[in-house]
């Protein structure tokens, strides 16, 4: 299926300039999933997000209870 953007209508249209239906747009998207270059960018973004994500929290066996005041205004 061939679709194009019509700047005058401001819509995505078929070759005969009739507006494409939602089902035709969906069919086009399934036939044209994207370029490898775009998928590469998403992979790089995923790697950055994964590198910034904490996978493990440090184990701490020391438990602190309560809060002490620094100055006593007594």
Tell me the whole-structure pTM to 2 decimals: 0.45
E strand segments, 1-74: 4-6, 11-13
Output b/e per residue, 27-64; b: 16+ Cβ within 10 A.
Answer: eeeeeeeeeeeeeeeeeeeeeeeeeeeeeeeeeeeeee
pLDDT of 2 above 80 = yes
> Can you give the pLDDT at residue 50?
77
Segment 34-64, tens digit of pLDDT:
766 655 666 777 777 777 776 665 565 555 5
Angle (CA) 44 31 20, round 5°: 115
């Amino acid at each position: 299926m061939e679709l194009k953007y019509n700047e005058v209508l401001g819509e995505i249209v078929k070759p005969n300039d009739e507006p494409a239906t939602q089902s035709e747009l969906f069919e086009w998207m399934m036939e044209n999933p994207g370029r490898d270059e775009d998928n590469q960018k998403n992979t790089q973004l995923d790697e950055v997000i994964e590198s910034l994500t904490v996978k493990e929290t440090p184990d701490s066996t020391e438990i602190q209870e309560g809060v002490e005041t620094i100055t006593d205004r007594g």
